[in-house]
Structure 1
Amino acid sequence: MTTNAVSKCPFTGAPDLAPASHEQQVDVPVLLEDPFEESNLADPHPMHKRLRDADADVVYLPAYDIYAVARYEAVLDTLENWQDYSSAAGVGLSNFNKEEPWRTPSLLLEADPPKHDAPRATLEKILGARQLRRFQTDWTNTAHRLVDGLLTNAQHQTARAIELDAVTEISEVYPLSVFPDAVGLQQGGLDNLLPYGNFAFNAFGPRNRLVTDELDTIGPVMEWVGQQCPRDALNPDSFGGDIWRAADQRNITEEQAPLIVRSLLTAGVDTTVYGISAVLYHLASNPEQYARLREQPQLVRRVFEEALRLESPVQTFFRTTTRKVQIGDTTLPENQKILMFLGAANRDPRRWDNADDFDLDRDPSGHLAFGSGAHQCVGQHVARLEASCVLDALIERVEGIEFAAPPVRKINNTLLGWHSLPLRFIPA
C-alpha cells in the first residue's frame, strides 16, 4: 500500500484528521467516515452496524490509511493472535515501528511475550480474585457509606425521591475512594487520576481536539503520576508495595516496577468509572430488570457483565501485523495498523441474539470488554469487585432507579461513557 504524505502529530505521532489521498492495493470495503469524529464517538453504534454489515471481515478507513475489524470472530482472533497482531508497535494509532512513542511504552498493553510475561504474571498474582479478598469488607463498607450518605443528604431530596448525578456522585467518587488507597498512594493529589486516564486514552487516537486541548495542562498531571510510582512513595501494604516486593524477589526488574505501578494508575480508574456508569444507565433504562435484580441479588455479576457487553468502556484498540496476514478473504501486508472495534464486536448479532437488548436471561460471558488472550485486562477482578460492592449497596437501599434528565455523553477517542447521568433514586 502506498500513500501520499500526511502531517504528523508532534506528540502522538498520529496522522492529523485531514485525510490524505490513498492508493489502496487491498480490495476490501471502504468506510469513508471518520470513526474518531465526535458524533461517532458519542454514538458509535450506527457506524458499528455499517462496519459489521460490510461485505468482508475487514474494512479500509482511508482517513487514517488503516484497516478495521468489527465482527466478533475477527476481533477475537486479532486479540488472541499476538504472534501475528502485535501490541508492541502500540495499541493506539501511532506505529512505534515508525515513530517514537510519546512516553515509555506500557509493559502490559504495549509489549508482547516474552517481554510481557513477567509483568503480566506479577500483576495477575497481585490482582487475583483470592488476593482481593483482603479488601472486600472495607470496599463493601465504603459503598454502603456512600449510598447512605446520598440518601440522607437533604440537598438531593425532592419529595420522596433522591436526585443526583450518578457520574460525579457515584461512578467517580467510589473508585477514587478505594482504588488509590489499594495501590498505596499516600501523597494526596488524587484529582490528577481522572485527567491523566482521560488523556492517556485520548492519546491512543489521532491528534484531534481531544488531545490538543489538554496539551497545555497535562504536564503537571503526568509529573504527579510519575512521582507516585517509586517504592518510597507507596504504602508497603498495597498493590504498589507488592509490585516492588516482586522486584526484590527478582520476578521483575527494578526498572519494570515503576512502569507497572504506572499501568495501574493509567487504566485502573477511568475504565471502572465508565463501567459503573454503564450499569446504572442500563438499570435506569430497564426498570423491570432492576426490580428483578433486587429480587435476585445473585444476578449482580451478570448485570455488570451484560452492561459491559452493551456499553464497553474501552471501545477500540489497535494491533500491528508482524507479517503478511489473512483475515477472512483479505490479505494484509506486514506492519499494517488494524483498528479493533471491541464495542461493535460485543453487539454482533452473529454472536449474540437480540444483541442491542439488555437481557439478564443472557449469558454474557465471552464479551470482549476486557479484551481476550495474552493481553486481556489484568485488573478485571478489581473492576468486578468495585461494581459488585456498589450494586449490593444500591439494591439494599434503593427501590427504583429512573432518569431525572437526559444523560450527556463524555467524548473520548477510546472510551465510551457518560459526562452526566442524572438519576432519581426511590429509597426502599
Structure 2
Amino acid sequence: MPHTIAVPETDIDIFSEEYLRDPLPAQEELREIGPIVRLTRYDVYACARYEEVHRGLTDWQSLQSGAGVGLSDFLKERPWRPPSLLLEADPPRHDAPRHVGERLLSPRRLRGMQDEWARVAGELADEILGAGDAFDAVLDIAQRFPLRVFPDAIGLGPHGREHLLPYGDFAFNAFGPREGIVERLAPTMGPTVAWIDEQCARENLAPGSLGAEIWESADRGEIPPEQAPLIVRSLLTAGVDTTVTGIAAVLHALAGDRVQWRMLQEDRSLLPRAFEEAVRLESPVQAFFRTTTAPTTIAGVEIPAREKVVLILGAANRDPRRWDAPERFDLARDPSGHVGFGMGLHQCVGQHVARLEATVMLGALLDRVDGVDLAARPVRHLNNTLRGWDSMPMRAEPRRA
C-alpha cells in the first residue's frame, strides 16, 4: 500500500471578504503549507500548487464534477438549478452535450464571426474614444462588447439582456457558501432566472443561431430534447462573465506598459498570447471543486471517498514551482499550460469565444491608441468564484499619425 502522510490544516477562509478582495497573500500561504491542505472552516481539502491542481483537473475518474463544482455536494443536497451538463456532469452523461458545445464553439466555427465581431469592436472603440480619452475599461469596454456580440450569436432577442451579467454573477457566486453574498442576492434573482429560462426555449431563439442549432442537434437525436435548453443556458454563462473579466484583465495588464503595447501593435500574432498571459495572471475563474469517487491519494495524502476538494486555479497559475516571476505580465512568456480555463475533459467550452472577443477588441484599441493608463485605482468586484472588477478608470494616449 502507498505510504500516506498527514494533511496540514488551516483556518484560511477562501470565501471571506478579505480573501475575495485580495486572495494572493493567502494563496501564497496555502501553496507553502503543503500540496494538500485541509480547510477547517469548510471541512474540505484544497490544492493550491500547480502540479496537484493539474492532476485534479485531469483525473475525472477519481475526482468527479457530477457532485457539483462548488462547495455544495449534489449527492447530499438539491442544487438551486439543474446542474450544467458541460460543467457538472461526468462521462457518459457529459459526452454528447460536450460534443455539441465544442462543435458550435470551435475555432473554425468562430472564424466565421470574426469579421463581424471586429467591425463591432471598431465601432465601439470609435464611440468610446470619440467622447474623449477617458473611459472605464470594465463598464465601457469589457461589459459592453460581449453583450453586443455574443447574445446575437446565441440567438437572443434584443430585450432583457441586462439580465445576463447578474445571472452569471449569481451563478458563479452560488459555487460558494449559501450565506454571505448568495444570501444577499438570492431574493432579487427571481425575474432574472425566469428570463434566462425563457430565452433557452426553442421558439425564443433566432433561426440559424447557435442556440437554434442546439435544438436542431436534439432533432437529429444527438442529445435528448430536455438537454437542449440546459446546454443553451450553459453557453450563456460560459460566453459572458469570464469573457468580461478576461478583456478587463488584458487591459489592466497592459496599462502603463508602452513597450509591450508597441510589441502588440507591431506583431498582431502576439494577441492570443497576450490574452492567455492575462488569464494566467488574473485567473478570472479562481477555483472549482471536485469530489472524490473513491479513496484517492494525492501528493502522499490519502483523501477518503465522497470528500470535496477545491482546486485553486488562481494559486496554481502563480505557482513559482511552475512559472518564473509569476507575478509579472510578460509577452515573452509561453503561458500555455495555465489552468485559467481548467484542463482536460471539463476545460471551458467557451474559451474560444473569450479569446476571440478579447483579441478583436484589443486589436481595435491597438489601431486607435498608443497606450492606456490607469486614471484611478480599479475597484474589485467580489464574487465567490470570479476575480474581476466593478470599475477600471483609464485614459488613452491618442495614436500618433
Question: Do the two structures share a fold, i.e. TM-score over 0.5?
Answer: yes
The answer for the alignment partner of 1:49 in structure 2 is 28
CA contact (8 A) 2:238 2:348 kept: no
Structure 2 segments unaligned to the other structure (5+ residues): none
The answer for the alignment partner of 1:67 in structure 2 is 45
Aligned-partner Cα distance in 1 for 2:392–2:10: 32
Aligned-partner Cα distance in 1 for 2:285–2:272: 19
The answer for the alignment partner of 1:356 in structure 2 is 327
State the one-letter code of the partner of 1:350.
R
The answer for the alignment partner of 1:33 in structure 2 is 12
Aligned-partner Cα distance in 2 for 1:259–1:139: 26
Aligned-partner Cα distance in 2 for 1:45–1:286: 22
Write the deviation string for residues 287-307 of structure 1: whole angstroms up to 9, x where unpaired: 322122222222111100000
Task: Specify which of 181, 195, 202 is matched with residue 210 of structure 1.
Answer: 181
State the one-letter code of the partner of 1:373.
G
TM alignment of 1:139-288, pairs within 5 A: 139-153=117-131, 157=132, 162-186=133-157, 188-288=159-259
Structure 1 segments unaligned to the other structure (5+ residues): 1-24
TM alignment of 1:308-387, pairs within 5 A: 308-387=279-358
CA contact (8 A) 1:26 1:332 kept: no
The TM-score, its normalising length taken from structure 2, stands at: 0.97
The answer for the alignment partner of 1:423 in structure 2 is 394
Q: Which moved more, 1:211-220 or 1:222-231?
A: 211-220
Aligned-partner Cα distance in 2 for 1:245–1:349: 47
Query: What secondary structure is seen at the aligned counterpart in 1 of 2:207?
Result: coil
The answer for the alignment partner of 2:100 in structure 1 is 122
Aligned-partner Cα distance in 2 for 1:50–1:104: 36
CA contact (8 A) 1:86 1:112 kept: yes
Tell me which stretches of 4 or more aligned residues in structure 1 moved more than 6 Å: none
Aligned-partner Cα distance in 1 for 2:276–2:233: 26
Point out the structure with the larger helix share.
Answer: 2
Structure 1 residue 187 displacement after superposition: 5.1
Aligned-partner Cα distance in 1 for 2:209–2:111: 13
Aligned-partner Cα distance in 2 for 1:136–1:172: 18
1:101 aligns with 2:79: yes
Quick one: structure 1 residues 252 and 274, their matched pair in 2 at CA, closer, same or farther if it must change by over 3 Å?
A: same
Aligned-partner Cα distance in 2 for 1:121–1:256: 13
Aligned-partner Cα distance in 1 for 2:40–2:32: 18
CA contact (8 A) 1:32 1:63 kept: yes
Aligned-partner Cα distance in 2 for 1:288–1:209: 42
Task: Specify which of 375, 385, 393 is matched with residue 414 of structure 1.
Answer: 385
Write the deviation string for residues 138-194 of structure 1: whole angstroms up to 9, x where unpaired: 1000000000111112xxx3xxxx111110000000000000000000151000000
Aligned residues: 396
Aligned-partner Cα distance in 2 for 1:187–1:272: 20
